Amino acid sequence: MNPKQLGNFGERIAENYLKKKGYQILDKNYSFRIPGNPLKGEIDVVAKKGDIITFIEVKTLRLASLAQDGSFSPEEKVNFGKQKKLVRMAESWLIKKKIPLNSKWQIDVVAITIDSKREIKINHFENAISYV
């Protein structure tokens, strides 16, 4: 499985996991070119549970690749730069959907590891990124 396929696979796992936890999926793979940045950003999943809109970053790693790139867990890939980008992307989505920025929203990280036997471990870090 190449990195893109692994990411897509992880996003499907996360989506099913979130649905089972009572989240309603509002959007997937929302992308937007951030002004002043040549790269576009993407939010993997936008969901709602109760009155809270949740923007979810999904990180998927195979256990075999963990030692090779120096990471110990997928959530470590969400560094400060990525966090800032996620906040801007979330605000962009809210503005596009005409939802006030002072509505209840948060950014979560769903970290997925897959071992050589294709056993899956999911860690859901709720409200993982501060945007205030």
Q: Name the one residue in this structure whose structure tokens are 């959007």.
A: 27
Token digits of residue 102? 């002072």
Other Cβ atoms less than 10 A from the Cβ of 57: the count is 26
Residues 78, 110: contact at Cβ < 8 Å? no
- What pLDDT is recorded for position 63? 77
Token digits of residue 99? 């939802």
pLDDT digits over 22-55, tens only?
Answer: 999 999 999 887 667 666 788 999 999 999 999 9
Fold of 3-129: Trna Endonuclease; Chain: A, domain 1 (3.40.1350)
Q: Domain boundaries in the chain?
A: 3-129
Residues 7, 60: contact at Cβ < 8 Å? yes
Answer positive or negative: Cα dihedral of 19, 25, 28, 32: negative
Which one is predicted more confidently, 67 or 20?
A: 20
Which one is predicted more confidently, 84 or 24?
A: 24
Burial 84-108 (b: 16+ CB within 10 A, else e): ebbbbbbebbbeeeeeeeeeebbbb
